[in-house]
């Protein structure tokens, strides 16, 4: 597939330039090493790194996304896990000081620690055993996703956590409960307390652990079948002890079933397609492949993507997209299209397509 590397190097921000060279073009390591300073020259990335606290956190939250205000407050309120993943998306090395400081906290979260101080976003649930257990489980999977993205696949602590996470998902998908996970509570249909569908964080973790996936190919096949089934109409709510709680991080089926879903949220569509490409699922699925190729059809002669309709820069309110989109700063001209153009090349490379530089 044609890929406008030259255009991106002329128009994109430093992180996208760097990742274009390293992740899509894949130049020899000796060349890439000389360009390694690029991600650290980007002011927004430096601003995010400099707001980190000495204990490796960015505040009292791990999963929050910024408030959305511009200027000096562009990262206000960000959670540590999202901040770590954002710096990785900017191209920062896992051994850079901010990521090293955060690493100890992330590994501590894998240990299923019962210390209430490590509930962070779920601190209000510390007096409810069921809700506290739920909170620790969510944070554990989110920490595992960040560590996997940082390249710690070979660490036994991460592999142990990944095995426990995948075993829980696989046992659920093999059980009769996976076919009928809903129970009635009052006038609502909610997920059974025993239902354990994959979360977005678990999928992200697996996406960045290719060797681990090959060791558990049967479970991954079962996961693929789950992700390609129609998403239920019911809202993702689950019984937790005696309470019903929202579970927006759970993935109950195909979250990109048709063109309307793509047009409704382009950044989320790209996030899903990249996730499926990393998992090795994109090339297996005819519908997702067609949706990806529709993106490719919307490129101009130079290989630059433009919206299918209108001229507005793609936006999203989906918090799971924030770590990766947009990497470009304030956009006005042709740089409006660099994020999507880069992601299309990255997805193509991840899905095994031959990249033709233009």
**What pLDDT does residue 107 have?**
97
Beta-carbon contacts of 100 under 8 Å, excluding residues fewer than 6 positions away, are: 94
CA distance 279 to 351: 9
Q: How far apart are the first and last CA of the chain?
A: 10
Tens-digit pLDDT profile for residues 170-220: 999 999 999 999 999 988 899 999 999 999 999 999 999 999 999 999 999
**What pLDDT does residue 68 have?**
63
CA distances, 206 to each of 88, 168, 254, 317 (Å): 17, 14, 17, 24
Contact 278, 327 (CB under 8 A): no
3-state secondary structure of 127: coil
**What pLDDT does residue 33 have?**
67
Contact 173, 220 (CB under 8 A): no
CB atoms within 10 A of CB 97: 10
Tell me which residue has tokens 């995010």. 48
**What pLDDT does residue 71 have?**
43
Nearest-5° angle of CA 222, CA 228, CA 230? 125
**What pLDDT does residue 70 have?**
45
Beta-carbon contacts of 197 under 8 Å, excluding residues fewer than 6 positions away, are: 169, 172, 173, 178, 181, 191, 226, 250, 251, 252
List of long-range contacts for 255-262, beta carbons under 8 Å, 24+ apart: 255/231, 256/288, 256/291, 257/230, 257/231, 257/287, 258/287, 258/291, 259/291, 259/294, 262/291, 262/294, 262/295
User: What angle do the packed helices 156-174 and 97-110 form, to 10 degrees?
Assistant: 50
Instruction: Enter the tokens of residue 277.
Output: 């490409």
Pairing of β 2-3 and β 356-357: parallel
Nearest Cα residue to 106 out of 66, 155, 139, 67 = 139
For CA atoms 149, 105, 139, 215, give the dihedral sign. Answer: positive
| Residue stretches of the chain with pLDDT short of 50 | 70-72
3-state secondary structure of 262: helix
């Amino acid at each position: 597939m044609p890929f406008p590397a030259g255009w991106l190097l002329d128009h994109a921000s430093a992180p996208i330039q760097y990742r274009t060279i390293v992740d899509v073009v894949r130049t020899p390591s000796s060349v890439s090493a000389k360009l390694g300073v690029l991600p650290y020259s980007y002011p927004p990335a430096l601003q995010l790194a400099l707001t980190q606290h000495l204990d490796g956190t960015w505040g009292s939250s791990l999963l929050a996304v910024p408030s959305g205000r511009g200027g000096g407050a562009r990262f206000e309120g960000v959670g540590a896990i999202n901040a770590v993943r954002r710096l990785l998306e900017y191209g920062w090395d896992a051994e850079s000081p901010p990521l090293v400081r955060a690493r100890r906290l992330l590994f501590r979260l894998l240990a299923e620690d019962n210390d209430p101080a490590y509930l962070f976003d779920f601190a209000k649930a510390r007096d409810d055993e069921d809700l506290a257990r739920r909170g620790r489980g969510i944070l554990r999977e989110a920490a595992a996703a960040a560590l996997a993205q940082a390249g710690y696949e070979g660490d036994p602590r991460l592999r142990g956590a990944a095995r426990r996470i995948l075993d829980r998902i696989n046992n659920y998908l093999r059980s009769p409960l996976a076919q009928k996970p809903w129970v009635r509570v009052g006038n609502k249909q909610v997920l059974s307390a025993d239902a354990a569908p994959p979360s977005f964080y678990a999928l992200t973790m697996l996406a960045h652990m290719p060797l681990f996936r090959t060791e558990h190919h049967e479970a991954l096949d079962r996961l693929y079948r789950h992700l390609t089934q129609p998403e239920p109409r019911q809202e993702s709510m689950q019984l937790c002890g005696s309470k019903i709680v929202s579970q927006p991080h759970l993935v109950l089926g195909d979250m990109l079933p048709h063109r309307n879903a793509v047009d409704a949220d382009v950044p989320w569509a790209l996030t899903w397609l990249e996730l499926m490409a990393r998992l090795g699922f994109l090339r297996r699925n005819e519908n997702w492949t067609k949706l990806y190729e529709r993106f490719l059809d919307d490129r101009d002669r130079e290989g630059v993507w433009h919206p299918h309709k209108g001229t507005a820069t793609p936006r999203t309110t989906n918090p799971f997209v924030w770590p990766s989109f947009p990497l470009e700063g304030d956009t006005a001209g042709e740089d409006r299209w660099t994020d999507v153009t880069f992601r299309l090349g990255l997805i193509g490379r991840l899905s095994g397509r031959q990249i033709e530089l233009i």
